[in-house]
Chains A and B, each alone.
Chain A
Amino acid sequence: MARFNPRRFNAYVMLLMAVYIALLWWVWPHVRDAHDIGWKIALALSPTVPVTWVIALMARRIMLADELEQRLHLIALGVATALVGTASLIAGFLAMGKVWRGDGSEVFWVFPALCAIYGFTRMGLKRRITGIWDWWGC
C-alpha cells in the first residue's frame, strides 16, 4: 500500500494554508469593492479552494493509512471537532446575547483552529502509543 509521505503531506498543507491566509488578507477584502456579481462570488469563495484541497488531501491520507494510524487520525479529528464546535457554540451564544460583537470574520479561523488542534492531538496520541515524537506526521 503506497502511503503518504508525511513530510510531503505537511509541505502541501503548509503551502495551501499559507495560500488560504494570503487570500483572506489580500484578496477577500476586495469583495466589497467588486461590482461584477460573478467576480464578487469568485473573490468571496476563493479561500474555500485551498481549504477543500486540504480536506481532500487529509481524506486521502487517512484512507491510505493503516488501522492504528486511522484510529489516531479519527480520535484527533473527534477531539478537534468537539473543541472547535464547543468554542463556536459559546461564541454564537455570546454574539446572540450581544455580549461579544464580532463582524463574522472570526469564522475564517475555524478551519485553521481545527487543523491545529487535530495536529497537536494526533502528535500527542502518537507519542503516547508509539513513544515517538512525530513532528512531521502531525
Chain B
Amino acid sequence: MKNRVRELREKHAWSQAELGERLDVSRQTINAIETGKYDPSLPLAFKIARLFGSRIETIFLDGESR
C-alpha cells in the first residue's frame, strides 16, 4: 500500500525518530511504513492521520481502488 507518510513527515521537518517518538513506535517501524514494506494497523493509521490533521484515506492510498 502506498502512503504519503514520508512526504508529510518532511513537510513538518521531523526525523523518522521524532515521528516514531510522537507515535510511540520505533524508527525502524516508521522506515518500514514509509518504504511500503509494512502496512500499519488501523489504530496506528488513525493515529498517523490525527497527528498530521488529515483524513486516513488521503495518507494511505489503496493501490487497488480506481
Contacts and interface: CB of A to CB of B under 8 A. Distances in A.
Interface of A: 1, 3, 66-69, 126, 128-132
B24 A1 contact: yes
15 contacts: A1-B24, A3-B26, A66-B25, A66-B29, A67-B25, A67-B40, A68-B25, A68-B28, A69-B26, A69-B28, A129-B32, A129-B37, A129-B38, A130-B28, A130-B32
* Interface bin, chain B: 10 to 19
Contacts of B32: 68, 129-130
Grouping DSSP codes into helix (H, G, I), strand (E, B) and loop, the B interface class, with mixed when no group exceeds half, is loop
Grouping DSSP codes into helix (H, G, I), strand (E, B) and loop, the A interface class, with mixed when no group exceeds half, is helix
B24 A67 contact: no
Interface of B: 24-26, 28-29, 31-32, 35, 37-38, 40-41, 44
Contacts of B31: 130-131
